[in-house]
Amino acid sequence: MLSPKKAPRANNNIEPLFQPRSIAIVGASSNRRSQGFDFVDGLVQFGFPGAIYPVNPRLDELLGLKVYPRLEAIPGRVDFVISAVPAGAVFEVVKGAKKKGVKLIHFFTARFSETGRADDAEAERELRRVTQEAGIRVIGPNCMGVYYPKRRITFDPWAMEGPGNIGFLSQSGSHAFRVIGRGKKRGLRFSKVISYGNALDLNEVDFLHHFADDPDTDIIAAYIEGVRDGRRFFQALAYAAGRKPVLVLKGGRTAAGDAAASSHTAALASQRRVWQVAVGQAGAFEVGSLSELIDMLVTYRNAGPVRGNRMAVLGGAGGGTVECADLCNEAGLELPPMPQSVREALREDIPHAWDWLGNPVDMSIVGPGGGGKETQIMELMAAAPEYDGIILNLPIERVLNRLGGDRLPQEALDRLRRLGTDNNKPLVVSVEEPESRDKGMVQAVLDARDAIGEAGIAVFTDIERAILAMSRYIQYEARREVLKADV
């Protein structure tokens, strides 16, 4: 396999590019439905501490900021330019940026090589030539650019959370949005998210090296559609994976006109196999869909340290409990029986069922009068040395009904989290789709799920996903141990 130690370092440290003291948005717009507005609005709302310079010859003022007709008209220094102008206007932007000594341009501007048209591809090559000549580094074109919470840089007021420890490089802007948006509710926070589109200059190799060395990043995620240089890419991947867990989602190809062709089975399938083997050899982990990527990030971020595959399971009720057992079993997880010590400890409180309860615990046996006993049972199970981890199929409607409110109190969230943290074991929780048709209860269930996620507990919308995530997490971490030993 590729040795992470032998992987060549990138020649350049790109972090300074992401620390601009001023940002100009060329193509800033007063149309609230345009991205030219959102870029400015995002920086203002997120509180970017440097200067924000909107640029548009047809505006004087935007969101309380003075608008400049051209880059050259800006009095101060400009470190970073975001381009939201149409494709035909990018060369003017580069010219102005060169004069202002700009270091980095992010081209949100699209309609280059991705259209599959010869003249658009030629324009992209020309853009590479002129930016290279001007000594300007480029992110894009055709992408959302940089989300860097620590520096309060964002591409959208929807993305404005505090910083976290996940670095995500995404060739797709919509995937960047989805991972930030869906991840937010599940407790994911990011060191940086970089949507880099057509990768004219800065690309997956640069960003992998960057995140590998970034002290703020503990977990790396990548969505990649195509790589420019396979050898350099897999070296960078091995370098990163030797330092941190790296989760990779491979998309087809960006040239949208070729979407159908790229789905042509034979070619894709053989490429895919090569890709899978190479990713595995580099020590990274391939995921099969965006949902799985988010699930695995949630698990890596929140589930806690891996010890082994013997699980204590609260299985919900009845058939749900049986399903938990089957799914765990199929996913390679072991379910040791309820220890005698736990049984004895429950004898007094659950006289009718203490000898009958098993693992998974079937809450319908404890009965509707068993209020609160699920917590007691799970605390005993979670602490038992017979188990390495905890899987909860939370009977959330029952819990909310019992607590008599429409939200989980902080104390309940704390006890839930402590099932894992007090015992230093991974914990995953499923809060399933509400069965109730009462709108208030449906909303309460969704709110409870978000609250659990935001409390830093690995939460899932389906017990199947929770079990698969726990199983993959254990497998991945076991492989990382082996790879570390190899090095």
What is the nearest approach in angstroms of a copy of itself to the Cβ of residue 20?
26
Residue 131 or 321: which CB sits closer to a copy of itself? 321
| SS3 (DSSP) at 116 | coil
Site residues for a copy of itself, 52-91, by CB under 8 A, read none
Residue 73 or 158: which CB sits closer to a copy of itself? 158
Residue 3 or 270: which CB sits closer to a copy of itself? 270
Question: Contact letters (x/-) for a copy of itself, 95-134, by CB under 8 A?
Answer: --------------------xxx-----------------
Structure tokens at 230: 């396979």
- Among the listed ranges 13-21, 72-80, 206-214, 323-331, the one in contact with a copy of itself (CB under 8 A) is 323-331
- The angle formed by the CA atoms of residues 412, 418 and 422, to the nearest 5 degrees, is 155
What is the nearest approach in angstroms of a copy of itself to the Cβ of residue 288?
8
Distances (CA, A) of 42 to 29, 158, 205, 210, 442: 13, 8, 28, 24, 32
Site residues for a copy of itself, 223-252, by CB under 8 A, read 223, 225, 250-252
- Which of 141, 147, 140 is CA-nearest to residue 38? 147
Q: Determine, following the binding rule CB under 8 A, whether residue 263 of this chain makes contact with a copy of itself.
A: yes
Q: Determine, following the binding rule CB under 8 A, whether residue 276 of this chain makes contact with a copy of itself.
A: no
The single residue among 59, 281, 307, 358 that binds a copy of itself, judged by CB under 8 A, is 358
What is the nearest approach in angstroms of a copy of itself to the Cβ of residue 377?
13
Q: Determine, following the binding rule CB under 8 A, whether residue 271 of this chain makes contact with a copy of itself.
A: no
CB count, 10 Å around CB of 33? 7
Residue 132 or 174: which CB sits closer to a copy of itself? 174
CB 359 within 8 A of CB 337: yes
Structure tokens at 325: 């057992």
Q: Determine, following the binding rule CB under 8 A, whether residue 371 of this chain makes contact with a copy of itself.
A: no
The single residue among 315, 389, 420, 453 that binds a copy of itself, judged by CB under 8 A, is 315
What is the nearest approach in angstroms of a copy of itself to the Cβ of residue 451?
14
- Which of 219, 275, 279 is CA-nearest to residue 252? 275
Amino acid type, 361: V
CB count, 10 Å around CB of 320? 18
- Among the listed ranges 68-76, 300-308, 419-427, 431-439, the one in contact with a copy of itself (CB under 8 A) is 431-439
Strands 65-66 and 61-62 turn out to be antiparallel
What is the nearest approach in angstroms of a copy of itself to the Cβ of residue 136?
25
- The angle formed by the CA atoms of residues 366, 371 and 372, to the nearest 5 degrees, is 100
Q: Determine, following the binding rule CB under 8 A, whether residue 337 of this chain makes contact with a copy of itself.
A: yes
What is the nearest approach in angstroms of a copy of itself to the Cβ of residue 319?
3
Residue 117 DSSP one-character state: -
Structure tokens at 42: 């995002």
- Among the listed ranges 37-45, 212-220, 238-246, 458-466, the one in contact with a copy of itself (CB under 8 A) is 458-466
Residue 236 or 357: which CB sits closer to a copy of itself? 357
Q: Determine, following the binding rule CB under 8 A, whether residue 156 of this chain makes contact with a copy of itself.
A: no
Residue 204 or 362: which CB sits closer to a copy of itself? 362
Q: Determine, following the binding rule CB under 8 A, whether residue 462 of this chain makes contact with a copy of itself.
A: yes
C-alpha to C-alpha distance for 185 and 183, rounded to whole angstroms: 5
- For every residue of 230-259, DSSP letters joined together read HHHHHHHHHHHHTTS-EEEEE---S-GGGH
CB 106 within 8 A of CB 81: yes
- For every residue of 412-450, DSSP letters joined together read HHHHHHHHHHTTT--EEEE-PPP----HHHHHHHHHHHH
Site residues for a copy of itself, 284-313, by CB under 8 A, read 288-291
